Amino acid sequence: MVEFLLLGSMLVLALLALYTGPLRIAVIYFSVFSLICSFLYLYYQAPDVAIAEAVMGSGLITLLYLTALKRYRVYSVCYTNTDFPTVSDREIIEGTRKGELVREIEDFCFARELEPQLVFTPQPVSEVLQSGRHDLIIHQTGDKITIIGNRENYVIDELEMLLVLRYQDLKVLVERYGGSSEYGDDYLPEED
Amino acid sequence: MNTDSSETTKLATLEQTASEELISVMTGLLYPFIAVFGIYIIYNGHDTPGGGFQGGAIMAALFLARFIVAHENDLEVHFVHNLEKFLFALLLIVPGIFIFAGLQMQFPELKIPYLIFMNFLIGMKVALGLTIVVYRFGFFEGR
C-alpha cells in the first residue's frame, strides 16, 4: 500500500516537474521527487543508495539547477507606447519620473547581473503579448503604466516588490502573462 | 541621477540580503549537524550503511551551504584542486602499500583502521571534488 502510494506520488511529481512553467518551481518538484525516491530505496532495504540519493538528488542537484537559473541572463524588456507613433528616447533617458522607471529596471538588472535588452515599439500591446518573446513589457497609455511580466521568468516577483515599494506615487500596475495560466489569469489589454 | 541609481542598486542588494538573512542563520545553525552526520557516516561506513562516497557528499553539502550563505568567491579553488590530486595519489598509494607489501597478512588487526582511513580519504576526495564542481559552475563559467 505504502509502496504504491509512493510510486504514484513519484509519477505525479515527475509529470509536475516536466509540465510546470516557472522553472524554479519545477526544480523544487524535482527535489521532492528525489526525496521520495530516496525513501523508496530505504523501503526496498537499500539504505546505502538512499543516503546517496538524498544527498545528491535533493541536495546538490537542486543547488546546481538553482545556480544555473541564476545565470539565466539576457532579460528582454519591451517598451510600448501607443500614444506616440514614434517613441522618443528622450523621455526615457532624461530624468522624468517615468523615465526613471526604465532606469530603475536597468539598475535592478545590473544588481542581479542580468543583461537588459531594451526594445522600443509603437505596436499595440496585444500584438507584443501574442509574440510572447519578451520577459517584461512596459506598456504606457497616458499616465498609466502597466508592467507585464512573463510568468516563466521568476525575476518578475522580485521586480514587482521593488517597484511597488518605490513607485507608489506613479500608477504602476504589475501584471503577468504567458506560461501556464493555472497560476492566475493572463493580463488582457484594453482596446483603445 | 547617478547618485539616485547607485542608491537603487544599494536598495536592491539590501532587499536581497534581508531575505537571505533567514537562510544564512538557519544554515549556520545546521553547520555542526551536517559536519557530525558526515563524519559519522564516513567513520561507520565499513559496517553500517553509508561510506566514503555518501559521507563525502554530505561533507560537500557543508561547503556548498557556505556557498549559498556567503556567495563570495573566497575559497582558493586551485589549492582545493591540488589537495584533491594529492588525496587521489594517496588513495592509490595506501592500498598499494597495505595489500601488496603484505601488511594485510602480517597485521590482521589493522584491517578496520585501514578501512576507516580509506573511507576517510574517499570522503575527502568526493567532498572536495563536488565543491570544486559547484564553485566552478557558480563563479567561473561564462554565459
Domain ranges for chain B, please list them.
Answer: 31-140
Per-residue pLDDT of chain A (192 residues; tens, 9 = 90+): 889 999 999 999 999 999 887 778 889 999 999 999 999 999 999 988 998 898 888 888 888 888 777 666 677 777 776 666 555 565 555 545 566 677 777 777 777 767 777 777 777 777 777 776 777 887 777 667 777 877 766 677 777 777 777 776 666 777 777 655 555 556 666 654
Taking an 8 Å cut-off on Cβ atoms, the answer to whether B4 and A100 are in contact is yes
- pLDDT value for A16: 93
B17: CB partners within 8 A, 6+ apart: none
The pLDDT of residue A13: 94
Set of chain B residues whose Cβ sits within 8 Å of the Cβ of A47: 49-50
- Taking CA–CA distances from B60, the nearest residue in chain A reads A60
Whether A108 sits inside 8 A of B138 (CB atoms) is: no
- Chain A CB within 8 Å of residue B54 CB: yes
Q: How far apart, in whole angstroms, are the C-alpha atoms of residue A149 and residue A156?
A: 6
* Shortest CA gap B76–chain A (Å): 20
What is the rounded radius of gyration, in angstroms, for the C-alpha atoms of chain B?
21
Between B53, B60, B138, which is nearest A60 by CB?
B60
Closest residue of chain A to B57, computed from CA coordinates: A55
Q: Is A14 helix (H, G, I), strand (E, B) or coil?
A: helix
B5:A107 CB<8 A: yes
Question: Looking at residue B1, what is its pLDDT?
Answer: 37
Would you call A175 helix, strand, or coil by DSSP? Answer: strand
Q: Tell me, what amino acid is at B139? A: F
Task: State residue A151's pLDDT score.
Answer: 72
What nine digits make up the cell of A91? 523621455
Q: Which residue in chain A has the smallest CA separation from B141?
A: A71
Confidence class for position B64, pLDDT limits 50, 70, 90: confident
Q: How far is B19 from chain A (nearest CA, A)?
A: 11
pLDDT at site B3: 44
Interatomic CA distance for residues B3 and B5, integer angstroms: 6
Does A47 reach chain B within 8 Å, measured CB to CB?
Answer: yes
Cα distances (Å, whole numbers) of residue A29 to A10, A62, A68? 10, 10, 16
pLDDT score for B2: 42
